[in-house]
Chain A
Amino acid sequence: MSRVIITIEDLVVNIKGKQILKGVNLKMQGGEIHAIMGPNGNGKSTLASVIMGSPFFEIESGKITFDGVDITHKPTDERARMGVFLGMQYPSEINGVTNMQFLRSAYNAVHSDEKVSLSTLKKSVMQTAKGLKMSKDMPNRYLNVGFSGGEKKRNEILQMMMLKPRFVMLDEIDSGLDIDALQTVGENITAYSKSAGENAAFMLITHYQRLLNYVKPDFVHVLYEGKIAKSGGAELSLKLEQEGYEWLKQQSI
């Protein structure tokens, strides 16, 4: 039986006094892929950010447990070193810090017990980048600076594949991707998920079925008004694609 990777219990989160998450409960086991869908402004990105330890939100109550350890109030970097990863919707641009420099620092931080030479790491980065169809000059470019929307998203996946996290959250990783790029990204997520097997769990935040055509979810949840209003299998995302959220709103009323 797979072990539980992450548990979220009655999570209530505020930003500037406004309640965004109003009691979220979720449990994810190793090997599972969960899709989080829902209308804009209902807390999807907030949920991912809070799990990552974003300082922009205030946790009013609730608990987040990763690998059996309470991480509710742990700092962001510690969570990342434990194996939590968030592929961001809008990755920051960092001038003067090259992609390779950043990846190396991040790799050394997350895998401090491993001794990997720079040349080995670079080779591995280049190989992974090739699989993501990224340009060859990528390691020497400043982190996300001048990257197109699609390049930024591929770069997030590259970081994920290099850091090998055990709990992966991808926030709208499909936005800004053309059809071919979406396929490449989708296939790489699936490949990583297969290689990680039951050691990793995935949370995909998306608005569209198109990503889920490449990365098959085991569960789909709809986050509505700060709560998980509906959960189901992959068929739920198809229903949402066809019918939108109106029926769900009616049910909530």
Chain B
Amino acid sequence: MVETAKHLIYAKDYDKIEITHNAPYRIHFRGVKDKVNIIIKEGVRAFITERFCPRTPNVKVDFVLEENAELVLSAFCDVSSVSVSHNIQSKPNSNFSGYFGFYGKNVKDDWHFVLTKGSLAELNTVSFCKGTDNHFHNITTHQIEGSNKVKFNGRSVAVMQSMCKFVTKGIIDKGSAGAVCSHKSKILTLSDEAKAEVDPSLLIDEYDVQAGHSGSVGRINKEELFYMMSRGLSEQEVIKLVSNGFLVSRIEGFLIASDRNRFYKALEQQEKL
């Protein structure tokens, strides 16, 4: 787990960044330039945290993970009206882990993965949609060759009149025998007005693969509600505990400490669900 970022990079200063040393980095998107190309060189292990700024509402990051490279990417984005797009090109035997939290108003979150032989990619996202927020998560994984593995876990809580949507698409090309693909999206809705949608799809052109997708949208389980209320908690208190827990169980252990605390703080301040 990365606790501090030793290398601070302002994306506006670069078109292309090459990471050549095992180290933690923090990338700030705070200028007019919103597109950057980052290459993790062969065999390098990098930890990158991203920081977003309201002045840069459209962020596009292209990552290339060279052979045997490893990238742990983490961010908590509480910027409103932001569009974040990540393209991850994974060369053979590379390893990607991404952990993202979203709390802002109106978020468009795009991920596109291309995986080759022996590469691994795991992405976890959590988001909290409140008021009239609109969160749209679009995840595409494209396994183009050899045995590789991709896993996506998305969780969101939608309250008040907010809207949350997950669109996940898994593509497995011919020649990807042994590939594993798992996409899971869960949305917890806490009001009658909150809207949630999950649209998963898989396009598989190979026989020897393991692929699965699941999507669930629902309210708090009534048995859980009864159980917790039977210990004296009001319905509102239960909703707050359960919805925070729904996200916290995913946040813990992956966001870096400072981002994790910012997310906790945001959730704690969320008084009116």
A-side residues, CB < 8 A to B, are 52-56, 75-77, 79-81, 85-86, 88, 91-92, 94-97, 101-102, 105-106, 109-110, 142, 159, 163
Chain A residue with Cβ nearest B220: A94
Q: Which of B226-269 contact A (CB under 8 A)?
A: 226-235, 237, 241-242, 244-250
5 cross-chain pairs, A with B, having the tightest CB-CB distances, nearest first: A96-B245, A96-B249, A109-B232, A106-B231, A80-B232
Interface flag for B271 (CB, 8 Å): no
- 26 CB contacts below 8 A, A to B, read A52-B226, A52-B230, A53-B229, A53-B230, A56-B226, A77-B232, A80-B232, A80-B233, A85-B231, A92-B221, A94-B242, A95-B249, A96-B244, A96-B245, A96-B248, A96-B250, A97-B244, A97-B248, A101-B241, A102-B241, A105-B233, A105-B237, A105-B241, A106-B231, A109-B237, A142-B245
Total number of A-B contacts with CB less than 8 angstroms?
A: 82
B192 at the interface (CB under 8 A from A): no
Is residue B205 within 8 Å, beta carbon to beta carbon, of the partner chain? no
Q: B208 — which chain A residues lie within 8 A by C-beta?
A: none
Q: A159 and B231 in contact (CB under 8 A), knowing A92-B221, A92-B223?
A: yes
Q: Hey, which chain A residues are within 8 Å of B235, CB to CB? A: 77
Taking the closest CB of chain B, its distance from the CB of A93, in whole angstroms, is: 8
Determine if B6 is an interface residue (Cβ-Cβ < 8 Å). no
Known A-B contacts A55-B222, A77-B234; A88 and B227 likewise in contact (beta carbons under 8 Å): yes
CB of B224 closer than 8 Å to a CB of A: yes
Residues of B within 8 A of A142 (CB): 245, 249
From residue B184, how far is it (CB to closest CB) to chain A in Å? 14
**CB-based contact B230/A80 at 8 Å:** yes
> Given the complex, which residues of B lie within 8 Å of A110, measured CB to CB?
231-232
Q: Nearest Cβ in chain A — how far from B114, in angstroms?
A: 33
A91, B227: Cβ atoms closer than 8 Å: yes
A79, B249: Cα distance in complex, Å: 30
State whether B247 touches A96 (Cβ < 8 A).
yes
Which of B221, B226, B232 has the largest count of A CB atoms less than 10 A from its CB? B232
Picked from A88, A91, A97, the residue with its CB within 8 Å of the CB of B245 is: A97
Residue pair A109, B241 in contact (C-beta under 8 Å): no
If A54-B226, A76-B226, A92-B223 touch, whether A106 touches B232 (CB-CB below 8 Å) is: yes
Give the residue name and chain of the B residue nearest to A111 (CB): B232
Bound-state Cα–Cα, A6 to B233, Å: 22
Q: A94: which B residues are within 8 A, CB to CB?
A: 224, 227-228, 241-242, 245
Which A residues touch B250, using CB under 8 A? 96
Least distance between B193 CB and chain A CB atoms (Å): 22
Give Cα A77 to B237, complex, Å: 10
A102–B250 Cα gap in the complex (Å)?
18
Query: In the complex, how many angstroms separate the beta carbon of A2 from the nearest chain B beta carbon?
Result: 25
B54 to chain A, nearest CB (A): 30
Nearest CB on A from B262, distance (A): 18
Determine the chain A residues whose CB is within 8 A of the CB of B241 once the complex forms: 94, 97, 101-102, 105
Chain A residue numbers with a CB within 8 Å of B248 are 96-97
Q: Which residues on A sit within 8 Å (CB–CB) of B221?
A: 92
Q: How far is the CB of A144 from chain B (nearest CB, A)?
A: 9
- A52, A54, A105 pick with most chain B CB within 10 angstroms: A105
**Interchain CA distance A105-B234 in the complex, whole Å:** 10
Q: In angstroms, how far is the closest chain A Cβ from the Cβ of B223? A: 5
Given A97-B242, A97-B245, A163 and B232 contact (CB-CB distance below 8 Å) = yes
Whether B247 and A102, one on each chain, are in contact in the complex, defined by CB atoms closer than 8 angstroms, is no
Chain A neighbourhood of B224, CB < 8 A: 92, 94
Q: Please, how many angstroms separate the alpha-carbon atoms of A102 and B241 in the complex?
A: 8
Partner of B233, one of A52, A54, A88, A106: A106
- What's the nearest-Cβ distance from chain B to residue A194, in Å? 23
Closest CB-CB distance, A35 to chain B, in whole Å? 21
Residues of A within 8 A of B247 (CB): 96
